[in-house]
Amino acid sequence: MSERVVLEPNAEHPITVEPTEGRVTVHINGQQVADSRNALTLIESSYPAVQYIPMRDVDTRLLRKSATTSYCPFKGDAEYFSVAAESETVADVVWTYNAPFPAVAMIGRHVAFYTDRADVVISDVDAEPVNVP
C-alpha cells in the first residue's frame, strides 16, 4: 500500500479559514439542520467558499453515519453523513474532517454541507431563524 501524499497550501493552491461574519443556517427538505453564529469560511484555491459549522450547532439526531470516505491531500481524511430530514434521507450530504491536517486544524469538529442538496444561508448575525413552510 502506498503512502498518501500530504500537501501544504501554497501560492498555487491557497487555503484560508476565517470566522464567518454572520449567522449560518442549513435546511434540508425544509427542516432546519444547523444554526450557527460560529461558522468558519474555508476558501480553497478557485473553489467556491465552504461553510464549516461546529458540530455543536448541528441537530445531530438527524445525522446518519455513512460508509463513504474521501481523502484530500490538503485537508486529510473525510467522513460523511446522511441526513434524515422530514420524510426523506439525503445521502452523503455532510462531511467532516475529524483529524484535519495542521494547516486547516481549525475545521476539526466542524461539518460542511453540499449546497446542491442543502440550503446554506448566511445572514446578519442578529437575524431571526428563517421560517420554512
- Kindly list the structural domains of the chain, giving each domain's residue range(s) and its CATH number in brackets, ordered by start: 15-122 (2.170.150.40)
Torsion sign (Cα): 82, 61, 113, 77:
negative
* Confidence tier at 132 by pLDDT (50, 70, 90): very low
pTM passes above 0.85: yes
pLDDT tens digits, 67-106: 999 999 999 999 999 999 878 999 999 999 999 999 999 9
CA distances from 132 to 27, 31, 50 (A): 8, 7, 23
pLDDT tens digits, 2-57: 789 999 999 999 999 999 999 999 999 999 999 999 999 999 999 999 999 999 99
Bridge partner list, 69: 79
| R_g (Cα) of the chain, nearest Å | 15
